A and B are shown apart, each in its own frame.
Chain A
Amino acid sequence: MTSLASEFAIRTEGLTKRFGSQLAVNGVDLRVPSGAVFGFLGPNGSGKTTTIRLLLGLASATSGEIELLGRRMPDDLAAVLPEVGALVEGPGFYPYLSGAANLYRLDAADGHATSVTRSARVQTALERVGLSHAAGKKVKAYSLGMKQRLGIANALLIPRRLLVLDEPTNGLDPQGTREVRSLIRLLAGEGTTIFVSSHLLAEIEQICTDAAVMSVGRLVAQGTLSELRGVGGARVRLESPDRNAAITVFTRFGMTVAEPGPDGTELLASFGTLEPAPDTVVAALVEAHVRVFSFTVERPSLEQRFVDLTGEGFDVAQ
């Protein structure tokens, strides 16, 4: 248990949640390394938020095990949650209270948070998300982006070992999104493990070290970002009139040639298990008298991987 505590901030084993006949979360084995910025990806309705609710003890799992910071959930909930800051499915605040009063309220709800430094901590948290000027304003007058920032401020009232942020940039303008990204980097730099769920891939690609992809309640991929990108393998796009000679060369490097381009001058070849250096491939092509008009090594973007894993289009898989 103790060794796991240092290794994984979040670990689940066969985590399953059933609503009636529908499996919202289906046998999920999450491994979130301590200190990682972990992107939790998946289209809408893939079970991300339900998983987060299970992790935080808001809902109980139908089966499976959860370990947060090396302790079992929900058994050790009272000991674990003070070390976890969270933003779950958008911010939730009392509209008739000011931003600061809302934070006071939620801080008072944590029996471990000391009241002595409460006002200083509330002030600091508001400053960090750039809401000091609106601290006294009632939340009903806040914009969606301001509420989102207030939600993040709530997660930062106490230094946490783990932050769980569900769609943290939802409703934020581009500047706000950038600020949240830099805030996440800053917090990660201090050693906080950050678990960010998002359906915006660009966001994940920019800040995360690790990621997992959910689809229809299942975890379909998990690993470091480069591992995830690499699974699909890189491929070469070659433009040349000497088709057959090029295919011979590619085959020699263990590459498989996919469909030719529409005009017959374009070739797509994917690397096998060995990835030869591109310059050696080009040199070999030239040696074989293949006229190279253009040669590009393409790596699948995370977006391509994401679509490969979760399917395309708006149809939410059932």
Chain B
Amino acid sequence: MSRSDMSALPDAVFRSRPALGLPLLVSEISVLFRRRRTWAMLASLALIPVLIALAVRLTSSRPPSGRGPAFLDQVSQNGLFVSFVGLLVSVPLFLPLTVGVVAGDTIAGEASAGTLRYLLIAPAGRTRLLIVKYLATAVFCVAATLAVAIAGALIGVALFPIGPVTLLSGDSIAVGDSIVRSLLIAAYITVSLLGLSAIGLFISTMTDVPVGAMATTIVLSVVSQVLDSLPQLDWLHPWLFSHYWLGFADLLRQPISWDSFGSNALLQSGYIVVFGALAFGRFTTKDILS
């Protein structure tokens, strides 16, 4: 088809009514998951429960209760606990690390590749692009958490016996119910990471150097956890985005205590609103000179 043929075609062949941005979101997610880097990070995350399970399997003596990460002593009794231990170990550093990379790369990565200007003159719309970027980061949070949970479940099933799970409250739940609990914990951790994602998105709008935005986001997640551990700053703790990160043990009680889930969700939405607004304010007025 030559250009002259194209000119003769009705406009509808090329243009439709403006879409809400769904095609852009689909494209964003597919670009994210077509990067080798994304899969490398997911594979590294999946490796964490695998290494834990292998370590437990290969040591003959049962780890003493009360030492090492919580639930570690339960792993050799019940493979379903590998997921819990894996998630618990990943929350403070490994998950924020990968989320920091993805969130920090959102805008700064496009700017440094020179693709940001082409997206904007397409025109993608600055607000739409920002929302799509955030949603794709949220999808990565789900994928990252599930990578740990699913790899943990699989290696647990492969190496250890499976049976009813004894909860923190002392009650026992069936295997099926424990899978539901695992998914709830994965959901809890995903929500925990959404505030950090918003912070990363905002930082990413401030620079054309993706590595800088990534490092800043990751450092902030560490700083928040350090502050959270200082008793002198008690008053600050409920406002730190990492405050409820390890609070998902409440989901392992019978009946489930939703308190920390609710507080966590509220806190994270606060961070999303504040840093989303900052990112919006910054990005919609920014001169794109990259």
Contact B114 A113 (CB under 8 A): no
Which A residues, 135 to 169, have Cβ-Cβ distances below 8 Å to chain B? Answer: 154, 156, 158-159
Top 5 A-B pairs, shortest CB-CB distance: A92-B114, A59-B287, A114-B16, A109-B122, A109-B124
Q: Looking at the assembled complex, report how far the CB atom of B181 sits from the nearest CB atom of chain A, in whole angstroms.
A: 38
CB neighbours (8 Å) of A113 from chain B are: 14-16
Name A49's closest neighbour in chain B (CB-CB). B289
A115 to B116 Cα, complex, angstroms: 21
Q: Looking at the assembled complex, report how far the CB atom of A147 sits from the nearest CB atom of chain B, in whole angstroms.
A: 10
Within 8 Å by CB of A56, from B35, B121, B285, lies: B121
Q: Looking at the assembled complex, report how far the CB atom of B156 sits from the nearest CB atom of chain A, in whole angstroms.
A: 34
Stretch in A77-85, A250-258, A271-279, A310-318 with 4+ CB within 8 Å of B = A77-85
Contact B34 A110 (CB under 8 A): no
- B119 within 8 Å of A (CB atoms): yes
Contact B114 A58 (CB under 8 A): no
Contact A111 B128 (CB under 8 A): yes
A-B contact pairs, 7 of them (CB 8 A): A109-B119, A113-B14, A114-B12, A114-B16, A158-B14, A158-B15, A187-B3
Contact A110 B123 (CB under 8 A): yes
- A186 within 8 Å of B (CB atoms): yes
Name A80's closest neighbour in chain B (CB-CB). B123
- Number of A residues whose C-beta is below 8 Å from B? 48
- A230 within 8 Å of B (CB atoms): no
CB neighbours (8 Å) of A106 from chain B are: 115, 118-119, 122
Name A50's closest neighbour in chain B (CB-CB). B289
- B117 within 8 Å of A (CB atoms): yes
Contact B114 A91 (CB under 8 A): yes
Give 1 or 0 for each of B114-150: 1 = CB within 8 Å of chain A CB: 1111111111110011000000000000000000000
A60 to B31 Cα, complex, angstroms: 29
A61 to B4 Cα, complex, angstroms: 37
Interface residues of A (CB under 8 A from B): 53, 56-60, 77-78, 81-82, 84, 86, 88-97, 101, 104-117, 120-121, 124, 128, 154, 156, 158-159, 186-187, 190
- B170 within 8 Å of A (CB atoms): no
Contacts A104-B27, A114-B14 supplied; 6 other A-B pairs, CB < 8 Å = A78-B123, A92-B116, A96-B35, A111-B23, A114-B12, A128-B3
A50 to B36 Cα, complex, angstroms: 35
- B288 within 8 Å of A (CB atoms): yes
A112 to B128 Cα, complex, angstroms: 13
Q: Given the known A-B contacts A92-B118, A124-B1, A187-B3, are A114 and B13 also in contact in the complex, defined by CB atoms under 8 Å? A: yes
Q: Looking at the assembled complex, report how far the CB atom of B30 sits from the nearest CB atom of chain A, in whole angstroms.
A: 8
Q: Looking at the assembled complex, report how far the CB atom of A36 sits from the nearest CB atom of chain B, in whole angstroms.
A: 18
Q: Looking at the assembled complex, report how far the CB atom of B50 sits from the nearest CB atom of chain A, in whole angstroms.
A: 27
Contact B118 A121 (CB under 8 A): no
